Chain A
Amino acid sequence: METLGFLATGFSVALAPMNLALVLIGCFVGTLIGSLPGIGPINGVAILLPLAYAMGFPPESALILLAGVYYGAEYGGRISSILLNVPGDAGAIMTTLDGYPLAQKGEGGRALALSAVASFAGSMGALTLIVLFAPLLSDLALKFGPSEFVWLMTFAFTCLATMVGSRPLKTTIGVVIGLLLATVGVDSGTGILRYTMDIPNFFDGVDFLVVVIGMFAISEVLVLLENWLRNDMKLTPVGRSFVSMSDLLAVKWVVLRSTLVGFVIGVLPGTGASIGSAVAYGTEKRFAEGNDDQFGKGDIRGLAAPEAANNASAAGSMLPMLTLGIPGSGTTAILLGALLMFNITPGPLLFEQQPEIAWGLIASMFVGNIALLVMNLPLIGMFVRLLSIKQSYLVPVIVMLTFIGIYSIHGDSFDLYFMVVLGVFAFILRKLGFSLAPVILGLVLGAVLEQNLRRALSISGGDWGILFNGPITITLAIATLLAMVGPVIMKALKKR
């Protein structure tokens, strides 16, 4: 019952006029960003973060805006998947499989409407689960000491390594690069300077925003440049847009299962919407065995599953970010960094000391999803028309926004140069098959990991045994070990 009281507090925050306006703006911009091929949620949040910071919003309002962009983009990503066969973001890749064939049959409107409802159901289901689990998880996390947090982060990185990207090795390297970037600057324990190369701008550490924008937005511009071809994309006609009750009834179990799958994968550290939707699609295909010949040719089950799952995992990835301070996906890593910039440390204490932020965000997500359903059913035509914006008009706007955003933080051109350098570096990483989310996760968690490790060893007087001192640490150590060897064993078993 206590939870309901907190939720009421949350709604009073989320329904304050300014926050309500920001939810609507965030959701609108998010849908727009998601629907434009090329810029996904992670880029949208990265580009808007410095602007939100520079405009001096209170932390809960900035977070409400940026989170709106995040889950709004998961709605928007499906539009270009269905109509153009080009996923608007990574979470919508599976949506192309059955969405585009439906559009080719002239049922684009039906596909868009059904997927909007599936997205809505996925989000709402996951949000309900968040409301149920957030107090439990944050109560548990209150018992965590430094050594537990060290293990929690190690577990997060291990999950990330074995589940994300083409090779665990490359993900590990990405995490280590991020962690090393976090060591740059003055050491809080002793006051010595580490890896600053005598550049004053690095004395208080590399700026999180510069790294995020450089690595995501600038490298994305380079990728767009590389892939640009002189072809006009053909929009498939939408057809009549309607929600049919029989479609909804046919996929109700699919949506329910996919929501659960998406939520669990979203909660797992580092694995976000793209993996959630892929796993849900695979699960549904297996469930439909014997009756699955339509999958890939325009089956509504194959459309509803990834859409419910990617929205559920986008919402689910907020849970560990808020309760434990461990982001559940690349985009929530950026949101975590945003909170840290406002001097707010997410984690169990957030729910006790600043319930208006944690519960305000959760409540705003309920409001936002209702708004998104409205935007994505009657107003779908407007977003479809926006799909035909040419990249030649879009790219100058992206570049301009990144430069304004970064410059307005410190008013120093050095940040702009550093951003371009990081963009080139990130482009090379992408070409070598590294994913960038691990780097950002490492950067965000680096300082916290080091602090906790040093604090743990201070407590024990230098005895590393403190890392195995209680039931929670040992459980987490075993979980880490399982996450490390589990996938290898699974692969070996499959081969046989």
Chain B
Amino acid sequence: MFDRLFAGALLCLSGLIAWTAYHFDVPFQYEPLGPKAFPLILSTVLAVCSIWLLLKPSPNKWAPTGAVLLKLLSGVALMTGYAFLFEKAGFIVSTAIVGAVFCILFGEKPTRAIIYSVVLSLVSYFLMKHLLQLNVPTGMLFGG
């Protein structure tokens, strides 16, 4: 079932890719093949493969429980939030918050999780920024 859904999506995608490639506006071209051919060949291969998969899907026993699904979704949300906060709130604050929640998601007690991630964010900030001189955002809070 999962395979069929995915194959259907791929089939639509390959159509879209072929259509876009066909309508590339190429003002000049000095070679016989040009920029259209490669995507067109690939989309054809993709279309054939996805039709094959649509007809012959493999069984998939993946059936996550509600709790697992919730955990996965919170993981995704957490990382999206991290991406949002990383530059705005700065490395120290965002890492302390997101690290603590991840710690808790993996079964750590809240107080220990918070202590661990605060220490982790402070130590790695100085390690990354000053020792390795990487581009780590300071954030508004500390006047970055």
Residues of A participating in the B interface, judged by any CB pair closer than 8 Å: 51, 54-55, 166-167, 169-170, 172-173, 176-177, 179-180, 183, 187, 189-190, 192, 194-195, 218, 221-222, 224-226, 228, 230, 390-393, 395-397, 399-400, 403-404, 407-408, 411, 413, 416-417, 419-420, 423-424, 427-428, 431-433, 449-450, 453-454, 457-458, 461-462
Contact check, A51 vs B38: say whether CB atoms are below 8 A apart.
no
List the B side residues contacting A395 at CB < 8 Å: 102-103, 106
Contact check, B136 vs A413: say whether CB atoms are below 8 A apart.
no
A/B interface sample: 29 pairs, CB < 8 A: A169-B56, A187-B35, A194-B35, A221-B75, A222-B72, A222-B75, A222-B76, A225-B72, A225-B75, A226-B64, A226-B71, A390-B106, A395-B106, A396-B102, A396-B103, A399-B82, A400-B120, A404-B124, A404-B134, A407-B86, A407-B136, A408-B134, A413-B86, A416-B83, A420-B80, A428-B6, A432-B3, A432-B6, A457-B33
Chain B: interface secondary structure?
helix
Q: Can you list, as one digit per residue, whether each of B64-108 has a CB less than 8 Å from chain A (1) or not (0)?
A: 100010011001100110111011000100010011101111111
> In the assembly, what is the distance between CA of A471 and CA of B70, in Å?
58
Measured CB to CB, the closest approach of chain A to B54, in angstroms, equals 11
List the B side residues contacting A413 at CB < 8 Å: 83-84, 86-87
Measured CB to CB, the closest approach of chain B to A450, in angstroms, equals 4
Question: If the complex has contacts A167-B58, A190-B26, A192-B35, are A399 and B99 also in contact, measured as CB distance less than 8 A?
Answer: yes
> In the assembly, what is the distance between CA of A51 and CA of B28, in Å?
41
Residue of A nearest to B10 (CB): A173
Contact residues, B90-136 vs A (CB, 8 A): 91, 95, 98-100, 102-108, 113, 116-117, 120-121, 124, 128, 132-136
Contact check, A461 vs B136: say whether CB atoms are below 8 A apart.
no
Residue of A nearest to B62 (CB): A431
> In the assembly, what is the distance between CA of A407 and CA of B107, in Å?
28
New contact pairs (14) apart from A180-B39, A392-B105, CB-CB < 8 Å? A170-B58, A176-B49, A190-B29, A228-B106, A396-B100, A396-B116, A400-B99, A400-B120, A407-B86, A408-B135, A413-B86, A413-B87, A433-B60, A457-B33
Of the residues A183, A399, A457, contact of B102 by C-beta under 8 Å: A399
> In the assembly, what is the distance between CA of A392 and CA of B82, in Å?
17
Contact residues, B1-55 vs A (CB, 8 A): 2-3, 6, 10, 17, 20-21, 24-35, 37-39, 42-43, 45-46, 49-50, 52-53
List the B side residues contacting A55 at CB < 8 Å: 132-134
Measured CB to CB, the closest approach of chain B to A209, in angstroms, equals 14
Residue of B nearest to A463 (CB): B32
> In the assembly, what is the distance between CA of A224 and CA of B105, in Å?
11
Contact check, A404 vs B91: say whether CB atoms are below 8 A apart.
yes
> In the assembly, what is the distance between CA of A403 and CA of B99, in Å?
12
Residue of B nearest to A218 (CB): B79
The 6 closest A-B pairs by CB, nearest first: A462-B32, A392-B106, A416-B83, A396-B99, A408-B135, A392-B108
Task: Determine whether B139 belongs to the interface, using a CB cutoff of 8 Å to chain A.
Answer: no
List the A side residues contacting B95 at CB < 8 Å: 396, 400, 403
Residue of B nearest to A56 (CB): B133
Measured CB to CB, the closest approach of chain A to B25, in angstroms, equals 7
Measured CB to CB, the closest approach of chain B to A441, in angstroms, equals 14
Question: If the complex has contacts A392-B106, A403-B82, A432-B3, are A453 and B33 also in contact, measured as CB distance less than 8 A?
Answer: yes
